Structure 1
């Protein structure tokens, strides 16, 4: 199959909600692109064996196919994501009277800046809102929709443990030393149980904000679903900020990322640090048997963590591992089995996170682990919205904030691949 045989390597726009035929067609294009990629890469490897270097035309063709494969994969993911999103129309049907009243007050505030109804709600229930200087809490439907969208598009949130909290810090106790245990005969003496030593991990909530803008004409249009509009507008901004923070955040003004703790060779691992496996070459995979480093990374993780493990890497690193084969000539990277499913590496799903570093000397460009057990995202309940019609006239700005914390909760559940000789 040639590159020109692909129906269209470019991302195609789909008007309106995608149909099942749209998703199936895009997925078929993706699979054709992957087959063409494998054929071309096989040609490149054969040329290296025969002439010690690949033909420039083959290399250029492979690069174009790699870009086409990435574009087609993004299209498939976008179509599958849109197809899973529920409509918010009719969300108020069957809701409690107080919920409908709050939705009505929120609608009046967003569309016209009418805060009077929110003031009345404050008199009834002190948790309904705050003063206009700090904004007002969005209705539950809006908050749920934002949370649902973030779970779908934020790569680390999608594979981590997510907890809700009402305070400013989420605290999780853990035992540094447990009770004494062992085997004993029926009548033999038992060792006295030791008192467990407890410590705690603290995950403070940091403020995340976005500021979508709208025209007054849009707000005056009664057909516009404001919940849906706000969720769509803040989705990308929140997801991009979270994606960076959950990987490399400093833990001071944003959540602590899983690459932030000190990293040590896995043979010297201890609690509070992340263990790594070296590739055997500075800034690259080893020239001989490059896939061995990935195998070492997988088995650096204990078996109890491997059952739910994911690889985490960015698209440029994924392009590099996509070319690797095992000793039997099988590609380590496999295309997803269905639209919306993740690609796999050595049988484990891949979470593509653009915040992961590129392959470079001493870079920890690939992470592998059970992120459900290894990383915690703590959401402070409540999304706050402040309407600002003055700063950017004639546009109305909506200063939207939510508070979220995060950090490693099990340092043994995540390992990294370090592109270094040792």
Structure 2
């Protein structure tokens, strides 16, 4: 049974009702006497959790509806032949003509360590599922490469300029400063296992099984790496880069700007406004907040001077919930609200950071190491790249 627009509208109606109930209870808690506050606080927290569930459910239903409408991948003779040969390799271990078909279909030679590249359709589906399961993939930029690494030149400015009269001599200008940035790459691996009996079953969907098993392992590893990874045999995460409180003009490229909340372990609505206006106007179009679910529950209680809640639920189709008018990317790998935590980010993440994928997920079939199971050593090369350190600001909960 498919997802329909009315399903999303029903969830939005439930979200609206929960938000109205939340406001009443929270307002009553703020105004209540001490004896009632403990009970009201518990009720407010439960409604807050319910709103998180409904908000996430609405977002997921919208994604599923869009995915159902998305056209399938175009196929050609070479792609179909490669897919059939790869399927035979997975099921039976036969690799007859697979290397040749692989090179025709995806322009990749056989890896020197052994194994074969997954068909283009499987590889792209794997990326789509990973994007759905990983908020950093969903929110950040994406670069697909065929080499083992990736480099890019960025212009840091510095070219001279000025005003001159119509007939005045034009002084020479400075040469723009260029900097080479390099993606930090790593190799992900997973080793799903299946029995030969299940592989022999013609009704067993080999591609679906392999992609689902691999995605579970890859998604867990990637999720933390793109945000917090230390860059050693893995991507260097966004929050792993250097931080400084200095402005864009005085901060070196590759260092992110952070704002201190003024109080260890907590922050206010004013701190969020500082983040928004600390980001230059050109970056604000497409900018979002990023925080985990508990922090989102924390900010739902914030009000402006007129008593209006700063968090507002998205009640229409494709309308996300907002904080101070901007969307929120919920990332459970973001730090909790605690002393010195970098608990909130605000920025244009597509301009800030890019996920770099090497084309081709490789599979090595091993029927010997884990008898009676057939093991599939599956590898994928992936990296991360900080592309613009001015495009995101970070709130650090410290004095």
Q: Same fold (TM over 0.5)?
A: yes
Q: Is the 8 A contact 2:79 2:105 kept in 1?
A: no
Is the aligned partner of 1:42 residue 2:22?
A: no
| Aligned partner of residue 183 in structure 1, secondary structure | coil
- Gap change, CA 1:233 and 1:331, over 3 Å in 2: farther
Contiguous gaps of at least 5 residues in structure 2: none
Greater mean alpha carbon deviation, residues 19-28 or residues 352-361: 19-28
Give the Cα separation in 1 of the matches to 2:379 and 2:29. Answer: 50
Query: CA 1:114–1:148 in structure 2 vs 1: closer, same or farther (change >3 Å)?
Result: same
Single out whichever of 342-351 and 361-370 deviates more from structure 2.
342-351
Displacement, 1:137? 0.3
User: What's the offset of the Cα at 1:196?
Assistant: 2.6
The 8 Å contact of residues 180 and 191 in structure 1, kept in 2 or not, is answered as no
Moved more, 401-410 or 174-183: 174-183
Which of 174, 180, 183 in structure 2 is aligned with 1:203?
183
Q: What is the Cα deviation at residue 64 of structure 1?
A: 1.5
Alignment partners' CA distance in 1, 2:30 and 2:333: 30
1:80 paired to 2:62: yes
Q: Which moved more, 1:214-223 or 1:297-306?
A: 214-223
Aligned 8 A contact 2:11 2:54 in 1: yes
The change in CA–CA distance for 1:338 and 1:228 in structure 2 (over 3 A counts) is farther
Post-superposition offset of 1:317: 0.9
Residue 273 of structure 1 pairs with residue 255 of structure 2: yes
1:405 deviation in Å? 0.9
Contact 2:185-2:233 within 8 A present in 1 as well: no
Determine if the alignment matches structure 1 residue 313 to structure 2 residue 291: yes
Q: Which residue of structure 2 aligns with residue 153 of structure 1?
A: 133
Counterpart-to-counterpart distance in 1, 2:76 and 2:12: 42
Corresponding position: 1:60 with 2:42: yes
Which residue does the alignment assign to 2:385?
407
> Does the aligned pair in 1 maintain the 2:155–2:179 contact within 8 Å?
yes
> How much does 1:189 deviate?
2.1
Alignment partner, residue 336 of structure 2: 358
Q: In the alignment, what sits opposite 2:9? A: 24
- 1:10 aligns to what? none
Q: 1:73 to 1:383 in 2, by over 3 A?
A: same
- Do the aligned residues in 1 keep the contact of 2:352 with 2:389 (CA within 8 Å)? yes
Distance 1:176 1:89, change over 3 A: closer
Residue in structure 2 matched with residue 302 of structure 1 by the alignment = 280
128 and 176 in structure 1: CA distance in 2 versus 1, 3 angstrom threshold: closer
What are the within-5 Å matches in structure 2 for residues 105-144 of structure 1? 105-119=85-99, 121=101, 127-128=107-108, 130=110, 134-144=114-124
Matched, 1:416 2:394: yes
Aligned residues: 397
Counterpart check, 1:180 vs 2:160? yes
Shift of 1:381: 0.9
- Verify: 1:284 aligned to 2:279, yes or no: no
TM-score, with length taken from structure 2: 0.89
SS of the residue aligned with 1:174? strand
Equivalent position SS for 1:178: coil
Rounded Cα–Cα distance in structure 1 between residues aligned with 2:218 and 2:80: 27
Distance (whole Å) between structure 2 residues aligned to residue 161 and residue 123 of structure 1: 28
- 1:233 aligned to 213, 232, 235, which one? 213
Write the distance in 1 (CA, Å) between the matches of 2:5 and 2:106.
Answer: 46
RMSD after superposition: 2.8
Q: Kindly indicate whether the alpha-carbon contact (under 8 Å) linking 1:81 and 1:340 is maintained by their aligned counterparts in 2.
A: no
Deviation track 1:66-102 (CA, whole Å, cap 9, x = no partner) reads 22222233333333333333599986xx732221110
Q: SS where residue 361 of structure 2 aligns? A: strand
CA gap 1:187/1:357 in 2 versus in 1, 3 angstroms: same
Task: Report deviation, 1:37.
Answer: 2.0
